[in-house]
Chains A and B, each alone.
Chain A
Amino acid sequence: MSLLPFCQWLAETPGSIALHESLYMYPLVESAHVLTLCLFLGIAIMFDLRLLGVTLTSVPMTEIRKRLGPWMVGGFVLMVITGVLLFYAIPVRSYQSLWFRIKVVALILAGLNAFVFHSGIDRRVAEWDRERVPPPAARRAGATSLVLWAVIVVAGRMIAYNWFDCDKQPQPRIVNVLAGCVVPAPGAPR
C-alpha cells in the first residue's frame, strides 16, 4: 500500500500550497517545532535521566510525573501539531524522504517503549517510587527512550538535506526501496 497518491493530493490542496509558499508562516511553524524540543524533549530527558537514577534522585518518581508530566504532554501536543503542519506543507518530499521514514519508525518504537514501561514496571511504581536508582526494567526504559529520541532529533534535522532525495538519481537501490522512490527502469521511455 502506498500513501503516495494521498500525499500528491494533499500537496495540491490550497492550504498546503499556501503554507509551503508563505514567507513567514512556514519558518514560524518550523521554529516552534524546533524550540518545543526544549519543552517536550528537555523535560522528557530529565524524566529519563531520573529513570536512570542520575538526576533528581531525591524526588519520588510519582511526584516528577505529577508535576512535570503536564508540561511534557503540552510540549508533545505542540510538537505533533507543528510537525503535522510541516508535513502538510511538504507532503510528497517528506513521504519519500529516507530520514523522515527513519524518524517515523523511531517515533513508533518510542511509543512502544513508553507503552511497555507504563504497562510493566510502572504499574509497580509504588514499590520503587523513592529509590534513588530505579529497578533495571525502568532504567532500560529510560535508556531506550534517550536513544530513540536522539535518533528522532537527528533524523528530523537530516530531512533538510537532499542527499537521498528521489529526484537525485542514481541512488543505491536500497535507498530507492526504503524511501519509496518511483524510478523508471534504465532505458524506459520517460
Chain B
Amino acid sequence: MNLSILNVLPWIEWIAASRLGQAISTSTWAFAVIESIHLLALAVIGGAVLMVDLRLLGLGLRTQPIDQVARDAWPWFVRSWVVMIVTGVLLFVSEPLKLYYSTPFFWKMTCLLLGTLFAVSVRRKVTLTPEGRTPAVVLKLVAAVSLLLWFGVGAGGRWIGFSG
C-alpha cells in the first residue's frame, strides 16, 4: 500500500521538479539540517503527548488534575506539531517520488491524519472534561489509541529510511 492509490503522479513529478525540491535535494546540508530539526521537534511532541497520555493511564503526574496537565502540554504539542509539519513538508518536497511509492510513508501519513484528528477531537474533549465524568476505562482507552497512533507516525517515519 502506498500513496500512488491517490493517482496524483503528475503533481508529484511537478513537486520533484520544483525549485524548492531541487534546491533541497541537491544541497549537501539542507536535508540533514531539516531532518535534525524534525527530530528535535519529535522529542518535544513525544514529551507533550506522553505527559498527557501517561496521566490518562493513571501514571506519571497522577496527583495533578487531568485538564491542568492537558492545558500545560497543549501549547507545546501545537508548536512542535507545526515544526514537524513544516520540516516534514520540506523533506517530502525533496524526495516526493520515493515517498509517493513508499509503504512506511503511507502508514505514517495515515497515522498522522488519524492521530491529529483524534488529538483535536476526542482526546481534547475528554482531557478538558471535568474529572470524574469520564469512566477511567475510557480515559485509558483514549490514551492507548493516542499512543498507538503516534507510535505509528514515529515508527513509520523511521522505517522510510530503511526501505529502499
**How distant is the Cα of A174 from the Cα of B94 in the complex, in angstroms?**
32
Q: Are B64 and A59 in contact (CB under 8 A)?
A: yes
Chain B, 22-74, CB within 8 A of any chain A CB = 28, 32, 35-36, 39-40, 42-51, 54, 59-64, 68-69, 72-73
Interface-located stretch among A13-21, A108-116, A154-162, A182-190: A154-162
Q: Across the interface, name the chain A residue whose C-beta is closest to B61.
A: A67
**How distant is the Cα of A68 from the Cα of B162 in the complex, in angstroms?**
32
Q: How far is the CB of A183 from chain B (nearest CB, A)?
A: 22
Q: Are A35 and B43 in contact (CB under 8 A)?
A: no
On whether A35 and B60 interact (CB within 8 A), knowing A43-B51, A153-B40, the answer reads no
Interface size, chain A (Cβ < 8 Å): 33
Q: Are B54 and A41 in contact (CB under 8 A)?
A: no
Chain A, 68-106, CB within 8 A of any chain B CB = 68, 71
Q: Pick the residue among B63, B73, B76 that contacts A67 (CB under 8 A).
A: B63
Across-interface contacts of A49 in B (CB, < 8 A): 76
Q: Are B73 and A43 in contact (CB under 8 A)?
A: no
Q: Classify the interface of chain A: helix, strand, loop or mixed.
A: helix
Across-interface contacts of A59 in B (CB, < 8 A): 61, 64, 68, 72
Q: Pick the residue among A39, A55, A149, A154 that contacts B72 (CB under 8 A).
A: A55
**How distant is the Cα of A55 from the Cα of B70 in the complex, in angstroms?**
11
B151 located at the interface, meaning its Cβ lies under 8 Å from any Cβ of chain A in the complex: yes
Q: Are A31 and B158 in contact (CB under 8 A)?
A: yes
B107 located at the interface, meaning its Cβ lies under 8 Å from any Cβ of chain A in the complex: no
B154 located at the interface, meaning its Cβ lies under 8 Å from any Cβ of chain A in the complex: yes
Chain B, 72-126, CB within 8 A of any chain A CB = 72-73, 75-76
Across-interface contacts of A64 in B (CB, < 8 A): 61
Q: Pick the residue among A41, A56, A68, A161 that contacts B43 (CB under 8 A).
A: A41
Q: Classify the interface of chain B: helix, strand, loop or mixed.
A: helix
A46 located at the interface, meaning its Cβ lies under 8 Å from any Cβ of chain B in the complex: yes
Across-interface contacts of A163 in B (CB, < 8 A): 28
Interface size, chain B (Cβ < 8 Å): 36
Q: How far is the CB of B32 from chain A (nearest CB, A)?
A: 6
B155 located at the interface, meaning its Cβ lies under 8 Å from any Cβ of chain A in the complex: yes
On whether A68 and B60 interact (CB within 8 A), knowing A31-B158, A38-B50, A46-B47, the answer reads yes
Across-interface contacts of A125 in B (CB, < 8 A): none
On whether A42 and B54 interact (CB within 8 A), knowing A64-B61, A67-B62, A153-B36, the answer reads no
On whether A42 and B43 interact (CB within 8 A), knowing A68-B51, A163-B28, the answer reads yes
Across-interface contacts of A149 in B (CB, < 8 A): 43
**How distant is the Cα of A8 from the Cα of B90 in the complex, in angstroms?**
39
Q: Pick the residue among A27, A38, A57, A58 that contacts B154 (CB under 8 A).
A: A38
**How distant is the Cα of A42 from the Cα of B45 in the complex, in angstroms?**
7
